[in-house]
Amino acid sequence: MPLVEPLPAPIENTLHRLANSDELRIAFPTDISMDGQFGEEWLVVSSDRIWVLKQNGKSEADIREDIPLNSVKTAHASMQVGNGVLELELSDKTVQLVRYSHNLIAKANAAARQINKLSKEEEITDEVVEERQRCPKCNRMLPDFTQVCPACLNKGQVISRLFRFMAPYKLILFLSAVLMITSTFTDLVPAFITKLIIDRVLTSMHGHTLVAGHIDPYRVRLLLMFIMFLALSRVLGSVISIWRSRLNAWLGGRVLLDVRAKLYERLQWLSLGYYDKRNTGAVMSRITNDTNNLQDFLVDGIPWGITNILQLFGIGIILFAMNWRLAALVLIPAPFIVVLTRWFWPRMRRRWHHVWHRWSKMNSTLASTLYGMRVVKAFAQERREISHFNWRNQSLFEANFSAESMWSYYGPMLGLLMSLGSLIIWYQGGLQELAGVMTLGTLMLFNQYLWQFYAPLQVMSRALDWTTRSLTAAERVFEVLDTEPEVKEANEPVPMLRIEGDVEFNKVSFGYDNSKRVIEDFSLEVKAGEMVGLVGHSGAGKSTVINLLARFYDVNEGSIEIDGVDIRKIRSEDLRSQLGIVLQDPFLFPGTIRENIAYAKPDATLEEIMQAAKAANCHEFILKFPDGYDTWVGERGQRLSGGERQRISIARAILHNPRILILDEATASVDTETERQIQQAIARLTENRTTFAIAHRLSTLRNADRLIVIDNGKLVESGTHDELVEKDGVYAKLVKIQTEINRIRAA
């Protein structure tokens, strides 16, 4: 959304009197008034003045603020409790200009940036601000990083989408369907045989009369024959049920294998921005809890549903064929059941949404605590973490109990409605049997089929509960699958099999979210083979610069070029395969030291791995372990010290042999002697290779060709160590502070 939006007539009339509309630089409505109430006010900035206008129902708007632009020293937008405020620092006072909700924070920050530039008579560009998108159907705000609206997601489409995962297994699906139809038929046979036993064996038949104490041999043979048919139908039904269950288990498990694979693949390709705003437990829940619920639905739920639908239709046809009037009476409870179900479904769905949301929160708490167990124990916070987990656990219990309690009302009410049909059968059918219109066997058959007809409906409550859980889980899975990565491959990517290493940042601006720009108008040119050191206070934006260079994120404005090509156009595989990164927090995967060093080059020989380890000065300590390079590093490398993990991560980058090397505090976790040895290795490694190095200890950057000083996201100084010290600027202050700290430590 541009920062100059179409103006309402009263605002336009007022501005027509105050200024030329061609001079407008900023014009957009806020959604909260200065008194904290929801209401619209317009922030309008021209080339020389700032106004806040409010409509009053008349042809012209009221002017609440009128401030000369040249009186502004600084404009700043920030979020407070419940709303944000855009403030102007003038020469003699501070003015709170406008308030706004969280939805307008991006516009407010963009307006503050442009006001600062306009007040300094700098050139500005028309800034386009991306707003959170709304669902075109219900106009609700869409969740971050997805185009899926949970409120409007069609349940039929969800089920249809699940069936599309079954498309590759059509033959198995066909065999399963045949077995389900056959199983349904065999389930109906025993009741019919029971009718024949009652009517043709246990009561009079073919003119024969039952005589007390006398057993008719004909009836005995007939009884044995019917019992054999009954046994055969039972055996056949059991065999079919076994094979049907095996097929369904294989099919459901295989589909879930595909779903998990797709889900994990999507998670791998999503940008880091997706994970920045999500916790590990919530993401893990998609692959564990949600897919488990889908498996139950696919293996048991769908086959159960299809079987019972077939059974309903089969029994319904038989009942109407035997006695349509009596069958019609059986359907009297049906409308009440439909009304009850339609009322219950949306309420149950909402409650299970709450359950799964709290499941996710509890998983997140569990994951973060397990990952941070060393910190928990170091600060003796076990009781607090136990209390926090118990609170999450209690919250989950309450949500789950609420859902289960609602079902406890629904089940008995549904059962009561079902029992009405049975009472009707006994009364009306009993009258017809007494009148000789219906045989006893037919009455018993009708009653038995009735309960088979009602059985699926009686457990409909549990099926509804089951289906609601499963479709909620499916929504969450498909939400991830439908999420598009923020960092996308270009439509026609430029292949770059060999990168020379020329890097240029051209007026780059970037923020991790809409609330703040971390990098602002950053420009830097680095020649191939040059080593530059990035220095500055914590939070100045150093790590953000290398995150953008590695294209973990895409710039908001400007461009980054490698060898004259915008990195957004370079084929991602070519870019990443020639980029080596040693992060500030060294991460090792569970496995051996050898596997971790060879992570970027799995086919590396042991000799190549050892050469990289020697270059990173970790060969000697590796050989001290009993298993050497086959030593298991443990979860996140916890069996190694911080310095050992860092050196292994450096060896990993060395073996990768990149054209551009990024060192983010690569020597932060080593002692002075090891740092000296690593610096020697880095000096050899950086030959003929473009290198970006970040370090808080400025002494570690003494081999850099040039130092780049970053302050508040901007490049403020550039030069060698001696040149920057002579300038007595930001870098000189950092050197003085660090020298003083070293003096204190030495004392």
Query: Per the domain annotation, does 489 fall within a domain?
Result: no
Task: Give the pLDDT of residue 679.
Answer: 72
Confidence of residue 151 (pLDDT cuts 50, 70, 90): low
* 393 and 518 belong to one structural domain: no
The string of DSSP codes covering 297-310 is IIIIIHHHHHHHHH
pLDDT at position 566 over 90:
yes
Helices of type H across 134-216: 155-164, 170-197
* 345 and 458 belong to one structural domain: yes
Query: Per the domain annotation, does 138 fall within a domain?
Result: no
How far is Cα 544 from Cα 535, in angstroms, rounded to an integer? 12
What are the CA-CA distances from residue 119 to residues 75, 116, 186, 521 (Å)? Answer: 9, 5, 85, 17
Task: Kindly report, residue by residue over 43-60, the tens digit of the pLDDT.
Answer: 988 888 899 988 888 888
Type of residue at 5? E
Task: Kindly report, residue by residue over 694-714, the tens digit of the pLDDT.
Answer: 877 776 777 788 999 998 888
* 556 and 622 belong to one structural domain: no
Q: Is 562 exposed, middle or buried (0-12, 13-18, 19+ CB in 10 A)?
A: buried
Task: Pick the closest to residue 615 from 580, 641, 575 (CA basis).
Answer: 580
Q: Which of 88-92, 427-431, 633-637 ranks highest by mean pLDDT?
A: 88-92
* 62 and 181 belong to one structural domain: no
**Hey, what are 314's tokens?**
């089969």
Query: Per the domain annotation, does 743 fall within a domain?
Result: no
Query: Per the domain annotation, does 146 fall within a domain?
Result: no
What value does the mean pLDDT take over residues 439-445?
Answer: 75
E-assigned strand segments in 470-606:
503-510, 519-526, 531-535, 557-562, 565-566, 579-582
CB 579 within 8 A of CB 550: yes
- The CATH number given to whatever domain includes residue 45 is 2.30.29.30
Query: Per the domain annotation, does 237 fall within a domain?
Result: yes
How far is Cα 732 from Cα 740, in angstroms, rounded to an integer? 12
Place of tokens 């319904």: 316
Tell me which of 342 and 404 has the higher pLDDT: 404
Average pLDDT in the chain? 80
* 294 and 400 belong to one structural domain: yes
The string of DSSP codes covering 401-452 is HHHHHHHHHHHHHHHHHHHHHHHHIIIIIHHHHHTTSS-HHHHHHHHHHHHH
* 285 and 380 belong to one structural domain: yes
Q: Containing H/E element for 663?
A: strand 660-664
Task: Give the pLDDT of residue 545.
Answer: 92
Give CA angle at 556 (137, 708), nearest 5°.
160
How far is Cα 426 from Cα 742, in angstroms, rounded to an integer? 96
Query: Per the domain annotation, does 747 fall within a domain?
Result: no
Which residues, 6+ apart, have CB-to-CB distance to 437 below 8 Å?
none
Task: Pick the closest to residue 194 from 471, 446, 560 (CA basis).
Answer: 446
Tell me which of 614 and 464 has the higher pLDDT: 614
CB 319 within 8 A of CB 449: yes
**DSSP summary character for residue 6:** P
Query: Per the domain annotation, does 340 fall within a domain?
Result: yes
Place of tokens 């090792």: 588
Task: Kindly report, residue by residue over 69-120, the tens digit of the pLDDT.
Answer: 888 888 888 877 678 888 999 888 888 898 988 778 888 888 888 888 888 8
pLDDT at position 235 over 70:
yes
Type of residue at 295? Q
Tell me which of 626 and 430 has the higher pLDDT: 626
First-last CA distance in the chain: 58
* 405 and 430 belong to one structural domain: yes
pLDDT at position 642 over 90:
no
What are the CA-CA distances from residue 7 to residues 31, 141, 296, 531 (Å)? Answer: 15, 24, 55, 52
Task: Kindly report, residue by residue over 26-41, the tens digit of the pLDDT.
Answer: 888 888 888 778 888 9
* 173 and 31 belong to one structural domain: no
How far is Cα 58 from Cα 176, in angstroms, rounded to an integer? 72
Task: Pick the closest to residue 363 from 293, 286, 256 (CA basis).
Answer: 286
Query: Per the domain annotation, does 740 fall within a domain?
Result: no
* 407 and 466 belong to one structural domain: yes
Task: Pick the closest to residue 449 from 470, 481, 473, 422 (CA basis).
Answer: 422
How far is Cα 23 from Cα 730, in angstroms, rounded to an integer? 38
Task: Kindly report, residue by residue over 257-279, the tens digit of the pLDDT.
Answer: 888 888 888 888 887 777 776 76
**Hey, what are 399's tokens?**
């949500």
Type of residue at 705? D
**Hey, what are 483's tokens?**
């999420």
* 507 and 555 belong to one structural domain: yes
Type of residue at 437? V
Pairing of strands 660-664, 690-694: parallel
What value does the mean pLDDT take over residues 612-628?
Answer: 87
Task: Kindly report, residue by residue over 685-696, the tens digit of the pLDDT.
Answer: 677 789 898 877
Give CA angle at 182 (179, 187), nearest 5°.
120
* 623 and 705 belong to one structural domain: no
Residue 40 dihedral angles phi and psi, to the nearest 5°: -100, 130
The string of DSSP codes covering 81-115 is SSSEEEEEEESS-EEEEEEE-GGGHHHHHHHHHHH
pLDDT at position 503 over 90:
yes
How far is Cα 562 from Cα 504, in angstroms, rounded to an integer? 7
Task: Give the pLDDT of residue 136.
Answer: 66
Strand ranges across the sheet with 660-664: 579-582, 660-664, 690-694, 531-535, 706-711, 714-719
CB 660 within 8 A of CB 689: yes
How far is Cα 38 from Cα 607, in angstroms, rounded to an integer? 69
Strand ranges across the sheet with 503-510: 519-526, 503-510, 557-562, 565-566
**DSSP summary character for residue 208:** B
Type of residue at 617? N
CB atoms within 10 A of CB 23: 12
What are the CA-CA distances from residue 436 to residues 227, 445, 475 (Å)? Answer: 27, 16, 57
Please tell me the total number of residues recorded for the chain in this structure. 747
Type of residue at 424? I
Widest distance between CA atoms in the chain: 126
- The CATH number given to whatever domain includes residue 614 is 3.40.50.300
- The CATH number given to whatever domain includes residue 285 is 1.20.1560.10
Task: Pick the closest to residue 593 from 562, 634, 559, 545 (CA basis).
Answer: 634
What value does the mean pLDDT take over residues 645-652?
Answer: 85
Task: Pick the closest to residue 195 from 446, 554, 459, 566 (CA basis).
Answer: 446
pLDDT at position 602 over 80:
yes
Q: How many CA atoms lie within 13 A of 712 on its CB side?
A: 2
pLDDT at position 426 over 80:
no
Residue 552 belongs to domain spanning: 500-578+661-673+689-729
How far is Cα 339 from Cα 319, in angstroms, rounded to an integer? 24
Handedness of CA 595, 600, 606, 612 (dihedral sign): negative
Pairing of strands 49-54, 38-45: antiparallel
What value does the mean pLDDT take over residues 181-188?
Answer: 81
CB 574 within 8 A of CB 495: yes
Confidence of residue 404 (pLDDT cuts 50, 70, 90): confident
What value does the mean pLDDT take over residues 528-553?
Answer: 88
Total domain count, the chain: 4
* 471 and 510 belong to one structural domain: no
Q: Which of 585-594, 620-629, 639-648 ranks highest by mean pLDDT?
A: 620-629
How far is Cα 209 from Cα 192, in angstroms, rounded to an integer? 23
pLDDT at position 163 over 60:
yes
**Mapping DSSP to helix (H, G, I), strand (E, B) and coil, where does residue 198 land?**
helix
